[in-house]
Structure 1
Amino acid sequence: MATASSLLSEDRFLCFICLDVFTDPVTIPCGHNFCKNCITEHLNVNVQRQCPMCKELFDRRPELRINTFISEMAAQFRQSVQKKTCSSSEEQHANTGEVLCDVCTGTKVKALKSCLVCLVSYCEAHLELHQKVTVMTRHKLTDPVENLESRMCKRHDRPLELFCKTDQMCVCQFCTESSHKLHLIVPLLEEYKGKKAELGKTEAEVQQMIQERQLKIQELKRSVKLSKEDADKETAASLQVFTSLIKSVERSLAELIDVITEKHQTTEKQTEGFIKELEEEISELKKRSSELEQLSRTKDHLQLLQSFPSLNPAPPTKDWTEVRVHSSYEGTMRRALAQLEETLGKEMKKLCGVVELKRVQQFAVDVTFDPETANLYLILSDDGKQVRLGDKKQNLLDNPKRLSCNSVLGKQFFSLGRFYYEVQVKGKTAWALGVARETINRKSILSLCPMNGFWTVCLSIGDQYNALTVPSTPLTLKSRPQKVGVFVDYEEGLVSFYDVDAAALIYSFSGCNFTEKLYPYFNSCHNDAGKNSTPLIICSVNHSD
């Protein structure tokens, strides 16, 4: 049995002449169907009076009979096609977000305006009445919108054209005369503009928050990367330190074993000597015992009496009663451990110093002396790396930047992060080094302490090293520094000084609160009758592995 879809297939309802769906279909005697106008025109033109499809000839003009069944089926087919077309058009408009005309009966056209009185959307053609009919020209038209019912006041059936700021809701004109009579009412457009501006500000804030969080993610990723790098460096440094410590322990163990072995060998050698001596005495005693036994068996009175005097003295033996072999090792390991502890302490301090120095040397910066800040008695080298105290003032103009007290600042300043530089002090009998803030008093002779904006250490005449705190802190150094490293961590508030050659920390200022630019500070001190004429030299940092 044929299905409905096959019965309603398009080719069954097409006119053979116009190739379109039947309009007023009629049947001719041969049984074929055509549009009434199409077959009429065909018969008028063709004198032979034959069927266009089967070519059957008719003796006279065939009678046209209306085919009611085909007519109804064609109408249904045409309606079905039109419905599908409209549905497709509506779906297409829905996908694009367009509002369609509510009046169009066929293919729906895009609406031009929506009427808040009629609650209907109109295309350009159907909007003509609202432009021509006097009554309808008073209607409230808006840009095309969907769900027009939601734009009407449910109580008064009027357009929601106003906004109640008191209740924060949309109202109609009648609402302002009843339940919202004493409330603060503004036009909907005014509130819209305000809210839109507020939304724009909120959106900008949200975008700012997004950007800040994206930057934070990048920062965290960089932190993880830096953490990985620091972890690798720390692991390598730790491996180096612990390997050295393990070697020290192994060396101490080998030395302890050698001491125990040597002590045992001495005891063994001494015992062997005692045994040999005892064996010789035993041999002598056995010989005497044989002579005594032989003499005691003689019956010759004369012989016994004559031989007795020669046997009477005691044999040459010593008293072994107090002879002892001491093989005690008590305290050997304890003394070795005490020595190892002392050695490890020195080794750890040295190794940690080396690792710490390498860490801060990563932040080395290029520093030069600033001629504009140099005291007039100071002489700077052309490359800005050396400074020494002259015998007389330089013939230079004074300026507010210039320092007193044989001092000079670095040309470079720092207001964030970490930095490090090294200064050779070899051959000098007095000096002061460190950092100073920008607003120090440059014309008065002040104590170089943090209270006055200086973080420094110094060597005074008499080989006394001090950290210039209040009061100053005497420093006990194992060696005389030839090169001093200065490290600053601005955010951490830390200023540290290192003996570069010994890889040892000299002193640290911690918990500092830096809020200004910091400049490297150098003080050549007085000449000390020519003994302190050696220059201070800013050195390039040797990043040794």
Structure 2
Amino acid sequence: MSAGSGHRSDNQFLCSICLDVFTDPVTIPCGHNFCKHCITEHWDVNVSSSCPLCMEDFYRRPLLRVNTFIREMVAEFRREAQQRASSSSSEQQAAKPGEVPCDVCTGTKLKALKSCLVCLASYCETHLKPHLTALCLKRHQLMEPVENLEDRMCTQHYKPLELFCKTDQTCVCLLCSVVDHRTHEVVPLREEYEGRKAELMETEAEIKQMMLKRRLKIQEMKDSVKISKNAADREKAEGVQVLTALKESVERGLNEFIKEIEDKQETTEKQAEDFIKDLEQEISELKKRSAEVKQCSRSEDHLHLLRSFSSLKAAPLAKDWTEVSVRPPSYEGTVARAVAQLQETLSEKMKKLLAEVELRRAQQYAVDVTLNPRTAHDDLVLSDGGKRVQHKENRDLKKNIKKFYHDIFVLGNQSFSSGRFYFEVEVKGNTYWALGLVKESVDRKGLIEMSPQDGCWILWLRKRNSALASPSDARSDPEKVGVFLDHQKGLISFYDVDAAALIRSFTGCRFPEKLYPVFSLYGDDCGSLSICPVNQTV
């Protein structure tokens, strides 16, 4: 241990509460070390049992046992410190500037180890020995070496300042107390010293406590900055995802708009090209006919002209182009239609993206929910772990003050009275189910009106021939439903987890009582409802 002691830092053995070397060091569950007295006193003052350094809260106050390994290291550290002090004191060193020299040494003045308030002199190790061995000198009061010992003598009577006048708040000698201060309250110097020392120790403790509070405040601020940075990074990532998706939608709308214009122009150009091709073909044929007519009209052969006249005189077979034209397409309203279509697309896209973001945020508040068998209707069968419920008709209904008797419901064990909470339920394959949150005082004996006015915020689905039976229930056929509660905002939302879509939200709600998760299932062949672990959507 000694071999490696040179590499140890003195701060390793300091308690962060009292800032002194450990006394009875203990290690708390988070791994930090403190003096047993310091951490006990800290927990006695504070309401919660938490680590002063990392602020980790403990459900119960930890049982403290002295860490023997650290205690042995501290003991070794103390021994080494004493050895260093002894070795340094045994070395006869000359007094350096700022150090008190020995008053007896001749020649080289050695460093003084103690000052005598009786002799009014300071002594090095050699010249101090008589005060440690001689019986008459042992009674002298020694102290850490100081200069100007004459300042500790009364300037009027040249006697040691042994008393303290509390009236004048000054140090006096024995003669002063009977001459100038005989009517004053005078106490021994040591007595006043002890009182003032105790006050200074209290001040020191207060300063240390202030230092600790400021260290904790620094850590709190660092934690706040870290939380803020994580939130900022998360918000930037979500914002980039949403805005990038919207940007891509805008780019697709722009490309579709340009393509529509270009398709119309291309159609117009193709029509014109076909007309021009036909016209050029007719022009070619008319040129040929014109050449034949010209040749025949210039001929001197009477018989040839008369024989060809009928065929050449007849009008050539040609299309009537009078009403034929290329009409430019109308582009009026194209931009407005494109903008309207883009607006509709962006609106749907934004709803979906925002629902995905909200779902991811809600999933951060996932809690472990289990079913309470004491509240289950007799037609419901719960799994051993309280995570799954099935319906099985039971004719022998037993009344119980906590059970649901009329409606086939079961509550969760957990209650919510503040904060945010989220849980997921697999409903796949069921034709009739209901789930959500209800107030603590919900009527378990009569018929439940599933409305917020009656303290019930429930999503339900009833299918007949694969069709939804009611416009008030789930408008999709989800396989897994997420339930989110924000107590402060008065918000309860239901999500289709696989589609990352919002099914329904109740806003502006008031919750005067505790809320409990509630589940219902009907039909022997409909499978089961299962509370499943939350896997956050990426």
The TM-score with structure 2 as length reference comes to 0.60
Matches within 5 A, 1:63-102: 88-89=148-149
Instruction: Say if 2:159 and 2:173, in contact at 8 Å, map to a contact too.
Output: no
Q: CA deviation at 1:390?
A: 1.6
SS in 1 for 2:148: helix
1:341 matched to 2:343: yes
Q: CA deviation at 1:496?
A: 1.1
Alpha-carbon distance change, 537 to 300 in structure 1, aligned in 2, over 3 angstroms: same
Q: Structure 2 CA distance, aligned partners of 1:480 and 1:385?
A: 22
Q: CA deviation at 1:535?
A: 1.7
Q: Structure 2 CA distance, aligned partners of 1:409 and 1:212?
A: 44
Q: CA deviation at 1:498?
A: 1.0
Q: Deviations over 1:377-411 (max 9, x none)?
A: 21111221111222116787x65332332111112
Counterpart position of 1:133: none
Alpha-carbon distance change, 516 to 214 in structure 1, aligned in 2, over 3 angstroms: farther
SS in 2 for 1:127: helix
Counterpart position of 2:112: none
1:141 matched to 2:141: no
Q: CA deviation at 1:315?
A: 0.5
* Amino acid of the structure 2 residue aligned with 1:355: V
Counterpart position of 1:47: none
- Identity of aligned pairs, percent? 48
Structure number with larger C-alpha Rg: 1
* Amino acid of the structure 2 residue aligned with 1:310: S
Q: Structure 1 CA distance, aligned partners of 2:314 and 2:448?
A: 98
2:518 to 518, 521, 539: 521
1:539 matched to 2:536: no
* Amino acid of the structure 2 residue aligned with 1:382: D
Q: Structure 1 CA distance, aligned partners of 2:483 and 2:460?
A: 12
* Amino acid of the structure 2 residue aligned with 1:454: C
* Amino acid of the structure 2 residue aligned with 1:244: A
1:370 matched to 2:393: no
Counterpart position of 1:280: 281
Alpha-carbon distance change, 142 to 272 in structure 1, aligned in 2, over 3 angstroms: same
Counterpart position of 1:422: 424
The TM-score with structure 1 as length reference comes to 0.59
Q: CA deviation at 1:261?
A: 3.9
1:110 matched to 2:162: yes
Q: Deviations over 1:14-39 (max 9, x none)?
A: xxxxxxxxxxxxxxxxxxxxxxxxxx
Q: Structure 2 CA distance, aligned partners of 1:90 and 1:377?
A: 99
Alpha-carbon distance change, 420 to 336 in structure 1, aligned in 2, over 3 angstroms: same
Instruction: Say if 1:114 and 1:144, in contact at 8 Å, map to a contact too.
Output: no
Instruction: Say if 1:430 and 1:461, in contact at 8 Å, map to a contact too.
Output: yes
Counterpart position of 2:116: none
Alpha-carbon distance change, 395 to 441 in structure 1, aligned in 2, over 3 angstroms: closer
Q: CA deviation at 1:302?
A: 5.0
1:480 matched to 2:477: yes
Instruction: Say if 1:121 and 1:144, in contact at 8 Å, map to a contact too.
Output: no
Q: Structure 2 CA distance, aligned partners of 1:401 and 1:220?
A: 47
Alpha-carbon distance change, 377 to 208 in structure 1, aligned in 2, over 3 angstroms: farther
Alpha-carbon distance change, 113 to 297 in structure 1, aligned in 2, over 3 angstroms: closer
* Amino acid of the structure 1 residue aligned with 2:349: E
Matches within 5 A, 1:122-521: 122-127=172-177, 139-143=183-187, 222-299=223-300, 303-328=304-329, 330=331, 331-392=333-394, 399-404=400-405, 405-460=407-462, 463-464=468-469, 474=472, 477=475, 479-514=476-511, 516-521=513-518
Instruction: Say if 1:114 and 1:122, in contact at 8 Å, map to a contact too.
Output: no
Q: CA deviation at 1:519?
A: 2.0
Instruction: Say if 1:438 and 1:517, in contact at 8 Å, map to a contact too.
Output: yes
Instruction: Say if 2:427 and 2:530, in contact at 8 Å, map to a contact too.
Output: yes
- What root-mean-square deviation, in Å, do the aligned CA atoms of Structure 1 and Structure 2 show? 3.9
Alpha-carbon distance change, 457 to 444 in structure 1, aligned in 2, over 3 angstroms: same
Q: Structure 2 CA distance, aligned partners of 1:508 and 1:320?
A: 66
Aligned residues: 374
Q: Deviations over 1:282-301 (max 9, x none)?
A: 11111221222223334555
